[in-house]
Structure 1
């Protein structure tokens, strides 16, 4: 059997399988079942700064702004402060998960301003988060926003959060950087401890019958995994950041591939949402069977064996393989 314990962000995990950010954050029983099935850690769903701001602005519009419309309004309209519109409920949930689950609980933060990021990051640390996962997603819609400006702004965010907390910070990236290794070097220089590759964005679709936009959650499949494997394999040995694969892990072989490409851990969400906590037990058994069958006694022995730096046919990771693939597609 392969020893599945691993180190991630300075944390000791009994398993590399981590429950990624998902709606399960709100279901303690479901998360406890995941831990019982072998999860090594849990990542909460994101605390969205813009959502908190929107709630506060809505309270002002619909309560405070009406108070001054009538001389007697203050006698029957409550002040907006009586409603909880900040991060309080998220922080209480974090504390409850931390004390109940018995595995590290990582908080997730998705902010829009340097001040908001740092303020909420300190709150998460004070509430007992084992680490913070920063989601960097800055949608460029202004033609004046160049890639250089956007990336510099994101690195400023990483640096500002790292400077404000003492717990490890991991950064969850999109796959859309034109020069991923260079940007990752900037993330490392900013003081982050880890990377999550890659974020899955729920894009709106079109309803042609209603001539409208629609939104729905589409679960991942193993077909999304190769993009993550390529990113991790390319960076393995070129960065000191601990890398986690997120997206497309549905089987033990998927998890084994992530480890062999250089990942420290893997995040699983869609498989759990589709099958329940039993998916983690199945993936664990399949991964252990595969890696032990290959002769690895620990994850450390297997990690990065097929990275771009170590693979016997490393050129397969490179662009030249694209031309060869097209020539031999039949």
Structure 2
């Protein structure tokens, strides 16, 4: 049997399998079942700054529109500046999970402003988060803003958060950076402890019958994993950041590939949404059987073995393989 203990974001985990950010974090019983099934840590769903702002503005508009409807209206409604909506329910949930699960709980933050990111990050730390996962998703829609300007703004956000909290910060990235190693180097310089490869974006589709946009959650498949493996294998040895692979992990072999590519942790979501906590038990068994069958006594021995820095034929990771693959696709 392979010893599956690992170190991720400076946290000691009994297993590299992590419950990724998902609606499951609203179900305490489901999370307890995941921990019993072998989860080494849990990432909460994101706290969205713009959602909190919109809720606050909506509440203010509601109260202000009614505050002078009759002579006694002020006795029914508080002044809008006294009406408080915000992150309280999320923070209470965080405290509950921290005291109930017995594994590290990572809070997730998706912000839109430097001030908002830092304010909420401090709240998450005070509520007991073991670490914070920052979701960087800044849609490039302005033709006058360059990629460099956008990336510098994102690095400024990372730096502002790491300077305000003492707990580890991990950054969840999109796969769309044109020079990923350089950007990851900037993240490391900004004080982060890890990166997550990669975020999956639930983007709108089109309903041609109704002629409107529609949103539908499409679960991942193992076919999405190679993009993550390539990035982890390329980054391993070039950065001291501890990497997690997220997206496309549905089997023990998927998880083993992520570790061999250089990941310290493997986030699982879609398999859990499809199968429940039993998916973690199955993936753990399969991963252990695969790694122990390959002769690895510990996860540390297997980590990065097939990275670009260590693979017997590292050129397979490079672009030359693209031409060869197309030439002999049959």
**TM-score, structure 2 length as denominator?**
0.98
Tell me the equivalent position of 1:303.
303
Q: Which moved more, 1:150-159 or 1:78-87?
A: 78-87
Q: Which moved more, 1:219-228 or 1:140-149?
A: 140-149
Query: 2:81 and 2:275 mapped to 1: Cα distance?
Result: 41
Does residue 194 (structure 1) correspond to residue 194 (structure 2)? The answer is: yes
| Correspondence list, 1:9-158, <5 A | 9-80=9-80, 85-158=85-158
Query: 2:71 and 2:154 mapped to 1: Cα distance?
Result: 47
Tell me the equivalent position of 1:267.
267
Instruction: Give the C-alpha shift of residue 211 in structure 1.
Output: 1.0
Instruction: Give the C-alpha shift of residue 84 in structure 1.
Output: 5.1
2:37–2:277 Cα contact (<8 Å) kept: yes
Specify the SS of the correspondent of 1:164: coil
RMSD of aligned Cα (Å): 1.1
Specify the SS of the correspondent of 1:32: helix
Query: 1:135 and 1:85 mapped to 2: Cα distance?
Result: 22
Specify the SS of the correspondent of 2:206: strand
Tell me the equivalent position of 1:184.
184
Query: 1:317 and 1:119 mapped to 2: Cα distance?
Result: 41
Query: 2:11 and 2:259 mapped to 1: Cα distance?
Result: 17
- Describe the superposition over 1:32-66 as per-residue Cα deviations: whole angstroms up to 9, x where unpaired: 00000000000000000000000001011111243
Query: 1:113 and 1:161 mapped to 2: Cα distance?
Result: 11
- Describe the superposition over 1:3-54 as per-residue Cα deviations: whole angstroms up to 9, x where unpaired: 0000111111000000000001110000000000000000000000000000
- Describe the superposition over 1:174-208 as per-residue Cα deviations: whole angstroms up to 9, x where unpaired: 00000000000000000000000000000101111
- Describe the superposition over 1:197-232 as per-residue Cα deviations: whole angstroms up to 9, x where unpaired: 000000101111111110011100000000000000
Query: 1:290 and 1:177 mapped to 2: Cα distance?
Result: 33
Tell me the equivalent position of 1:284.
284
Q: Structure 1 stretches of 5 or more lacking a match?
A: none
Query: 2:299 and 2:58 mapped to 1: Cα distance?
Result: 50
2:60–2:83 Cα contact (<8 Å) kept: no
Moved over 6 A (4+): none
Instruction: Give the C-alpha shift of residue 67 in structure 1.
Output: 1.3
Query: 2:310 and 2:118 mapped to 1: Cα distance?
Result: 38
Query: 1:81 and 1:269 mapped to 2: Cα distance?
Result: 39
**TM-score, structure 1 length as denominator?**
0.98
Specify the SS of the correspondent of 2:281: helix
Query: 1:284 and 1:141 mapped to 2: Cα distance?
Result: 42
Tell me the equivalent position of 2:203.
203
Q: Structure 2 stretches of 5 or more lacking a match?
A: none
Instruction: Give the C-alpha shift of residue 71 in structure 1.
Output: 3.8
Query: 1:171 and 1:246 mapped to 2: Cα distance?
Result: 12
Q: Which moved more, 1:62-71 or 1:215-224?
A: 62-71
- Describe the superposition over 1:139-162 as per-residue Cα deviations: whole angstroms up to 9, x where unpaired: 011111110110000000000000
- Describe the superposition over 1:261-307 as per-residue Cα deviations: whole angstroms up to 9, x where unpaired: 00001000000000000000000000000000000000000000000
